[in-house]
Amino acid sequence: MNPPKKSLSLRISARHRARPIPPKPWNRHAVTAEYWKADTCGGDNHICFLYTLQNNTDEDFRLGSSYVVDIAATLKPQKSFGSFADKQPTLEYPVFVPARSRALAALVVSTYRVAGRPDDAKGLDRFRAALVAKIVEDMPNVDGVVLFDETDRYQIDFPGGWLETAKAGGGHE
């Protein structure tokens, strides 16, 4: 009876060693984002959401076009992640935030364009207010954006501050 016990224990330890190591959990606090404003970028006036990123770690944080990231919408009523359909934002690369520092970052929606950006300050305030109202109208269930950095396992929540801006009455800064 002793030999079967030895073979049984060897099988159990071999099975235990073959189990994959689970990935570390997403870190939501390493890098945080604060909404600054919605604006247009580029000659075609596509929409960009500008944020301040705060690196809360002791290491520099960087993202480039070769990094593996997933971007999803944060949906209000469902409190879940979803897709943007034809308004998928991309992060403007490169992103570099030194340790314990802040830097600006832009989420760009190149397929979402708005015409008629004025050059004067008063006209720009009205334009930004109309832009924010359009964003709220076009994306009523979107509460923000979430970025998953596969390399560092960071989850960066980009809050949707455009709704508060619209409620406050405009897009002036």
Instruction: For 26-61, write each residue's pLDDT tens digit.
Output: 999 999 999 999 999 988 889 999 999 999 999 999
> With pLDDT > 90 as the criterion, what percentage of the chain qualifies?
49
pLDDT band at 106 (very low <50, low <70, confident <90, very high): very high
For residue 85, the model assigns a pLDDT of 72
pLDDT band at 101 (very low <50, low <70, confident <90, very high): very high
Domain 25-168 has CATH 2.10.260: no
Residue 49, both tokens: 């959401």
pLDDT tens digits along 5-17:
555 555 555 555 6
In the predicted model, what is the mean pLDDT of residues 96-110?
96
Residue 25 has pLDDT above 90, yes or no: yes
Helix (H, G, I), strand (E, B) or coil at 47: strand
Residue 4 has pLDDT above 60, yes or no: no
In whole numbers, what is the pLDDT of the chain averaged over residues? 87
Cα 88 to its chain centre, rounded Å, is 11
Tell me the sheet residues that pair with 159. Answer: 144
In the predicted model, what is the mean pLDDT of residues 92-96?
95
Burial of 171 (0-12, 13-18, 19+ CB in 10 A): buried
Distance between CA atoms of residues 74 and 165, nearest Å: 18
Across 2-11, 19-28, 152-161, the highest mean pLDDT is recorded for 152-161
> Would residue 93 be called left, alpha or beta, if left means φ above 0 and alpha means ψ between -120 and 50 degrees?
beta
For residue 114, the model assigns a pLDDT of 86
pLDDT band at 84 (very low <50, low <70, confident <90, very high): confident
pLDDT tens digits along 124-152:
888 988 899 989 998 888 999 999 999 99
